[in-house]
Each structure stands twice: as structure tokens, then as C-alpha cells.
Amino acid sequence: MIGAVAAQSTPLRLATVEDDPRYRSSLALLLRGLADFTLAASYARAEPLLEAAGKARELGMPSPWDVVLTDVGLPGIDGIALTRQLKTLFPALRVIVLTVFDEPASVLAAICAGADGYLLKSAPGSELLAQLSLVLSHGAPMSTALAGTMMRLVRESNSERSGAASLPRDLGLTPRQLEALRGLVEGLSYREIGERLDISIDTVRSHIRQIYAALQVHNVAEAVSYALRHRIA
């Protein structure tokens, strides 16, 4: 496995949605290099995956997959709409967007839809595998080339602020928790946030739990979306 994450006792079930048959086959071959994942399903469109997810929900069953890796530019229901609907059905399901688009609007749309990560198809296979491995530590997979895009979003958000930056009083976030939130906005993993703040991963997790409670969100994507929309990180 790529990265320093300990092996999972049970591989995470991963489903892909990609309409290009050649890329879908290449992706399946690449994903077999991840020992901590098993490719449970591969779809050319969003509709059959949503149908399977909907049936599982109707029967009171858990999600058929732990992670869904989806293209954005799909025929019919696109990847952004798919992400939003999957998160409605199974909020804990991790959805990673895989696309050729690196425009800020596309990144923000995916985040606001609930995506847990955003990867570029142009990224080398080794980087794609390494970024997917961040899912194991509840990090937010994001292609290296997108770091600048995310920072630009943050800078644009900051530049629109009037007066000194301040947190709404009712949030109750500490300066340390705000720094952890900024780390999430930048796409850092829990480990990277811990290294930046010189704290343990357990402490990072504690900060993130308190951030979720304060913002009334349930995952990294929702926290990042809230921070960008309300310009608090």
C-alpha cells in the first residue's frame, strides 16, 4: 500500500462511476494496487448506482459501498448531483469526485454537494492512489494541483471581508479549532493538521468533533463549505 497508513482489517468497498470505458478499465486496474480497498462495483452511469443505493435504503440496509469514486461529466445525472443524492441517502458514505475540471467553481460545487475529496484525472496514478489512501485516516483527498485552487478560493473569500476577521460568537470555536478548520479548508489530512499545530491525531480528532458540533455539520466537505460560505477560515 502507498503511504504510512496501517492496513485495514477489512478492505473498504469502493464503487466507481465513469462513462469512458477505456478510462474505467484503466481505473479498475489501477485500484487493484490498493490493498485496503476492494473494487465492489463499476458503473458507466449514475442511475444504476443510485438505484442500488435507493433499494438498500428502502430495505433498511447499510450502503453497499464505503467509498464512491465518481466522474463529474456523466451523461444523465452528473457527478455533482450524484454526490448530493448519495449524501442524502447515506451521509457517512464517502464520495470522491474524479474529474478533468480544476476551475474554482467546479471544486466549490463538489464541496457544497458534500464531496469528501476532489481528484484530477490528469494526476499521476501514484498520486491518485496516495490520495485515496487518505480516506483511511478520514483525510480529504485532493490532487496536488488543486491546492492552489483551494488557496485562491480562501484568498478571494478573505479579500471580500469587511473589517477584521471574527467568528460569530455563537460558534464558540477556539483559535486552535479555527486553525484546524483552516487545515480542512486547505485539504490537509488529520495527520498534516496535527503536524502543523504540533498536536496528536487524537487531539485533532477532538478538535474536528467540536468543529462539527459547533457548525452543525457531519463531515469534512460540509465543514469546508460552511467555512467558505461564512468566511470564517
pTM of the complete model: 0.62
198 and 110 part of one domain: no
Q: Tell me, what's the pLDDT at 114? A: 82
Q: Tell me, what's the pLDDT at 46? A: 96
Domain assignment present for 158: no
Domain assignment present for 122: yes
Q: Tell me, what's the pLDDT at 10? A: 82
Instruction: Domain of residue 138: give its range.
Output: 12-149
169 and 143 part of one domain: no
Domain assignment present for 129: yes
Domain assignment present for 3: no
110 and 213 part of one domain: no
With a CB cutoff of 8 Å and minimum separation 6, the contacts of 177 are 207, 210, 211, 214
Q: Tell me, what's the pLDDT at 138? A: 63
Q: Which of 149, 177, 192 is the last residue of a domain?
A: 149
Which triple of cell numbers denotes residue 71?
466522474
- For residues 90-109, give the mean pLDDT: 79
Q: Which of 121, 149, 177 is the last residue of a domain?
A: 149
- Cα separation, 11 vs 146, in Å, equals 28
Q: Tell me, what's the pLDDT at 133? A: 77
CATH code of the domain in which 50 resides: 3.40.50.2300
67 and 101 part of one domain: yes
19 and 96 part of one domain: yes
Pick the range with the lowest mean pLDDT from 82-86, 109-113, 118-122.
109-113
91 and 133 part of one domain: yes
126 and 175 part of one domain: no
pLDDT tops 90 at residue 198: yes
Domain assignment present for 38: yes
28 and 80 part of one domain: yes
Q: How confident is the model at residue 73 (pLDDT cuts 50, 70, 90)?
A: confident
25 and 95 part of one domain: yes
116 and 27 part of one domain: yes
Angle of the 46-58 helix axis to the 79-89 helix axis, nearest 10 = 10
The residue type found at 139 is G
Go through 146-180 and write b for each residue having 16 or more CB atoms within 10 A of its CB, e for each that does not.
Answer: beebbeebbeebeeeeeeeeebeeebebeeebbbb
Domain assignment present for 113: yes
Residues in the chain: 233
Q: Tell me, what's the pLDDT at 82? A: 93
Read off the pLDDT of residues 162-193 as tens digits, 9 standing for 90 and up.
433 444 445 788 889 999 988 887 767 788 88
Read off the pLDDT of residues 125-169 as tens digits, 9 standing for 90 and up.
787 777 777 776 666 666 555 555 555 555 555 454 443 344 444
**Total of domains in the chain:** 2
Pick the range with the lowest mean pLDDT from 24-33, 66-75, 113-122.
113-122
Q: Tell me, what's the pLDDT at 3? A: 41
66 and 34 part of one domain: yes
Residue 81 burial class via C-beta count within 10 angstroms: exposed 0-12, middle 13-18, buried 19 and up: middle
Q: Tell me, what's the pLDDT at 52? A: 96
Q: Which of 120, 149, 178 is the last residue of a domain?
A: 149
Mean pLDDT of the chain: 79
CATH code of the domain in which 218 resides: 1.10.10.10
19 and 110 part of one domain: yes
